């Protein structure tokens, strides 16, 4: 956003007019959206001096992850890349079994595999088996996948080309603009070679309405839990200096707000921003979900199987990249499944598991990821990223 666009907002001008407002605007990055070291990985992912396996890591770190925690570490050699879970980078009570962290690692693995083909490697991925367990008090890096590399032919697909353009879009979508039938069919085909991962797509208004109601209620309930609030708050980067320092987490720029509203939000104190976000979430979440013409679920045989969740993450990343390449926006809306974990961790009645099972209609499959897609009303902003040096061990 340029300065002229920003100053068109009369309300924001009043905020700036208050003592020190202009300085605070600069200090909070109002005029620096997408700039600085925190965003360089998006621009430089194919410009590294060093070629070889590190180029694949440059692509991997641009993947999606829960609350942009980036829970990954990489060990790199000329013929192999090992992917590790960095469980210290967690959202606590929101993801008590690190299920979503594993999905994020699957997203990184998908980017890595796409980049391997584009860089002229034949890549073979071996995913570690194992059950998901509650978060340890002092978690250590855990190997989750190994990618063996050999010389091959270069093959850059439309998904690879979309890696640096893929961003989570949290704005309203256009409910009157359906998705092309060929895109929906291509999306459905992403799991054709999977035996333990299934993709379900819902375009019928009544079916989508049921999922919206379940998800909206789950969103309100899970974010009313004090422990969830405590564990996720550190990943909200409301200060521009924190964005540039930590290069992770959710930022105001990524909230999907109009430019002037985004600028105003950046000027707020942390307390003011929390109250505004909480008030908007009460009736805004269902509105956002309802604006999307498609809601999807990724289901697995066992929600607490680590390998199956990595595979589910690969499917989500692949689907989001496909959508990006076709000019379609996407966003996770996974609160209902998070409530399944939450109820299990607290020993409560599995209410959400039953509601989601009714939607799927097949007891052999358990949802692990929910998302929606459509044509957005606003462009999505990039989220900050740590650079390769910070994630290679």
Read off the pLDDT of residues 114-136 as tens digits, 9 standing for 90 and up. Answer: 999 999 999 999 999 999 999 99
Q: What percent of the chain has pLDDT over 70?
A: 90
Q: What was the pLDDT predicted at 4?
A: 36
Please name the helix (run of DSSP H) or strand (run of DSSP E) that holds residue 85, with its range, or none: strand 80-85
Return the half-sphere exposure (C-beta side, CA atoms, 13 A cut-off) of residue 384. 28
357 φ/ψ angles, rounded to the nearest 5 degrees: -60, -35
Given the structure tokens 């994020």, which residue do they identify? Answer: 104
Give residue-wise pLDDT tens across range 320-366. 999 999 999 999 999 999 999 999 999 999 999 999 999 999 999 99
Residue range 37-51: mean pLDDT, rounded: 87
Instruction: Give me the domains of the chain, ranges plus CATH numbers.
Output: 3-31 (no CATH), 50-163 (3.40.109.10), 167-374 (3.40.109.10)
CA distance 304 to 5: 47
Instruction: Identify the bridge partners of residue 369 per DSSP, sorted by sequence position.
Output: 298
Where b means 16+ CB within 10 Å and e means fewer, 38-72 reads bbebbeebeeeeeeebbbbbbbbbbbbbbbbbbbb
For residue 344 the two structure tokens come to 């299990």
Measured between alpha carbons, how far is 74 from 392 in angstroms, rounded to an integer? 5
Across the beta sheet with 366-374, what order do the strands follow?
A: 197-202, 294-300, 366-374, 329-332
Separation of alpha carbons 307 and 309, rounded Å: 5
Q: Give the model's pLDDT for residue 338.
A: 98
What is the C-alpha R_g of the chain?
A: 20
pLDDT-derived band at 24, boundaries 50, 70, 90: low
What pairs with residue 298 in β-bridges?
A: 199, 369
Q: What angle do CA 237, 239, 242 make, to 5 degrees?
A: 65
Where does 114-249 show beta strands of DSSP type E? Answer: 121-127, 142-151, 197-202, 236-237
How many helices (H) and strands (E) in the chain? 17, 10
Distance between CA atoms of residues 80 and 75, nearest Å: 8
Whole-Å CA distances, 217 to 29, 226, 306, 307, 335: 34, 17, 27, 29, 9
- When mean pLDDT is compared across 34-43, 234-243, 282-291, the lowest value belongs to 282-291
Distance of CA 45 to the CA centre of its chain: 19
| pLDDT reading at 271 higher than 90 | no
Q: How far apart are CA 211 and CA 312, in angstroms?
A: 19
The arithmetic mean of pLDDT across residues 35-61, rounded, is 91
Nearest to 88 by CA among 106, 61, 63, 70: 70
Q: How far is CA 109 from CA 84, 125, 178, 189, in A?
A: 11, 9, 31, 19
Percent of the chain with pLDDT over 90: 81
Residue 200 in tokens: 């379900």
Q: Which residue do the tokens 């949290």 mark?
A: 170
pLDDT exceeds 80 at position 292: yes
Strand 80-85 versus strand 121-127 pairing type: unpaired
Inform me whether the pLDDT recorded for 281 exceeds 70. no
pLDDT band at 25 (very low <50, low <70, confident <90, very high): low
Rounded average pLDDT over 158-177: 97
Query: What pLDDT sits at residue 50?
Result: 65
Task: Please give the pLDDT value at position 13.
Answer: 42
pLDDT at 39: 97
């Amino acid at each position: 956003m340029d300065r002229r666009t920003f100053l068109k907002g009369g309300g924001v001008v009043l905020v700036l007019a208050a003592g020190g407002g202009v300085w605070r605007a600069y200090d909070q990055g109002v005029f620096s959206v997408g700039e600085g070291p925190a965003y360089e990985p998006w621009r430089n992912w194919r410009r590294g001096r060093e070629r070889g396996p590190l180029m694949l890591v440059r692509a991997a770190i641009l993947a999606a992850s829960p609350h942009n925690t980036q829970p990954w570490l990489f060990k790199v050699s000329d013929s192999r890349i090992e992917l590790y879970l960095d469980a210290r980078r967690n959202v606590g009570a929101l993801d008590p079994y690190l299920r979503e962290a594993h999905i994020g690692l699957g997203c990184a693995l998908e980017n890595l595999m796409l980049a391997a083909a584009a860089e002229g490697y034949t890549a073979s991925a071996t995913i570690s088996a194992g059950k998901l367990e509650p978060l340890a008090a002092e978690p250590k890096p855990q190997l989750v996948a190994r990618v063996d590399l050999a010389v091959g032919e270069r093959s850059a697909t439309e998904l690879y080309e979309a890696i640096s353009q893929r961003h989570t879009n949290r704005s309203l979508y256009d409910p009157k603009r359906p998705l092309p039938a060929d895109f929906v069919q291509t999306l459905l085909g992403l799991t054709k070679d999977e035996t333990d991962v299934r993709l379900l797509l819902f375009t019928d208004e009544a079916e989508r309405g049921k999922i919206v109601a379940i998800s909206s209620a789950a969103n309100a309930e899970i974010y009313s839990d004090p422990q969830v609030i405590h564990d996720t708050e550190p990943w909200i980067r409301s200060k521009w200096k924190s964005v540039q320092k930590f290069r992770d987490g959710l930022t105001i720029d990524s909230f999907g707000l109009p430019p002037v509203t985004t600028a105003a939000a950046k000027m707020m104190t942390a307390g003011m921003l929390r109250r505004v976000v909480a008030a908007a979430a009460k009736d805004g979440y269902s509105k956002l979900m309802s604006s999307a013409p498609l809601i999807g679920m990724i289901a697995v045989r066992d929600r607490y199987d680590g390998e199956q969740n990595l595979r589910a993450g690969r499917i989500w990343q692949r689907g989001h990249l496909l959508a990006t390449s076709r000019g379609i926006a996407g966003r996770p809306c996974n609160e209902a499944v998070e409530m399944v974990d939450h109820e299990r961790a607290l020993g409560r009645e599995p209410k959400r598991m039953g509601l989601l099972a009714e939607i799927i209609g097949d007891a052999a499959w358990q949802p692990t990821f929910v998302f929606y897609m459509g044509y957005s009303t606003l462009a999505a902003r990039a989220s900050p990223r740590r650079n390769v040096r910070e994630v290679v061990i």
